[in-house]
Structure 1
């Protein structure tokens, strides 16, 4: 049986019109990303946000969690890892969508690092394609298995994807983003990318701005910049 997931949530004002689920990185937990929902409220009115904690304690960060082990730090762990984590996440997503009476066409997955690996893997293999997949500072696990990534929406279209990465990332080099973008494009999966100059392994203001606008557009919402200076 897949482990039951839970984590922090941000409820919308009134009825939820769409759902954004954050998938945190290795050694963190759902609290690491949920605050982004507050920053995106202007872009995404009527959105429910959820950030489940990964199911396993992190071997290298005892107070954190992991979606799957990364003890060897090599690619051999990635494909079995994302496959092992998929049933629990699918179960969580189904329950959250049912909670708000929404379908996958009103769902977006947002991952960071290891969470990006899982967002890409699961999002591309749902029974119905989500509205969007947004991945920060991650990579594509098992590109040789992209033939199994067949999720499409009611219009027979795939999920749009935005990948964002810092060009100074010393954990997952920025080359991983360009390689993933090329591999996805070769599989006829639409993908955009955003490069953040000077950024290491993290998310900066420009990434949040591009990500929020990307999700709003993917949900078919009117795009409006919030008041104040544009983040850089």
Structure 2
């Protein structure tokens, strides 16, 4: 069976590429599942290159689909090791894309859904500054970090009624990062489950367009305090 191909959404040929988005699907998913997110980002950021790779492993619980790491028999103890094993290939992919388009790490955003969100969050923990932004939809950390990334702004987006990845994971992560003086926002959509809901996609775009990174905010104002964090969507 041939390897599934990823998707690419590139600007018009005469447009200088200024941003890079790498979108990571959930376990058992495919790049096609993230097309609505890719199209929304493309409309909002016409000078961005948007890459949607297929998970680097075949899904081991169904005849089709891809995964970043196996979820069979997964628990709190073995999850970090599985993520760590999968990480080098993803980091290599992101760095190759940055080199391809001549973009800096600060010009890069990682966006993931569910298992893809885990990979995005852990990528900037393993390599601080790999991306300037992370959009984590319906995700969690493999393990809460000991330190917050200094060069990455993290946006947590979750459904209040998520029965697969409970919203408490996002709420705990936001509070934990805040305690570490990390740069993080959280948005929770009421009556939304484990899905890439349009309300969360729109909120993610608003965050990208309006949220000044904490490191820039503090440098400009000369203050050692944090601006207001996230809010709840209704």
The interval holding the TM-score normalised by the smaller chain is 0.7 to 0.9
Q: Conserved in 2, the CA contact under 8 Å of 1:22 and 1:34?
A: no
How do residues 1-232 of structure 1 correspond to structure 2 at under 5 angstroms? 7-13=6-12, 14-126=15-127, 128-143=129-144, 145-147=145-147, 150=149, 152=150, 158-217=151-210
Query: Which consecutive aligned stretches of 4+ in structure 1 deviate over 3 angstroms post-superposition?
Result: 217-220
TM-score of the pair, normalised by structure 2: 0.83
Change (3 A) 1:218 1:129: farther
Normalising by structure 1, report the TM-score.
0.83
For residues 69-106 of structure 1, what are the alpha-carbon distances to aligned partners after superposition, in whole Å with 9 as ceiling and x for unaligned? 11114222320121111100111001111111101010
Distance of aligned partners of 1:94 and 1:6 in 2 relative to their CA distance in 1, 3 Å threshold:
farther
Q: CA RMSD in A?
A: 2.3
Task: Considering Cα pairs closer than 8 Å and 6+ residues apart, tell me whether 1 or 2 has the greater RCO.
Answer: 1
More divergent stretch after superposition (66-75 vs 161-170): 66-75
d(CA) in 2 for partners of 1:25 and 1:131? 21
Number of equivalenced pairs: 211
Q: CA deviation digits over 1:153-180, x for unaligned, max 9? A: xxxxx31111011111111111111111
Give per-residue Cα distances to partners, 1:83-142, cap 9 Å, x unaligned. 111100111001111111101010000010011111001023325342211100011111
For the 8 Å contact 1:16–1:47, the answer to whether it is kept is: yes
Partner residue of 1:226? none
Segments of structure 1 that go 5 or more residues without pairing to the other structure are: 153-157, 221-230
Between 1:203-212 and 1:105-114, the stretch displaced more is 203-212
Q: Is the 8 A contact 2:42 2:50 kept in 1?
A: no
- Gaps of at least 5 residues in structure 2 are 214-232
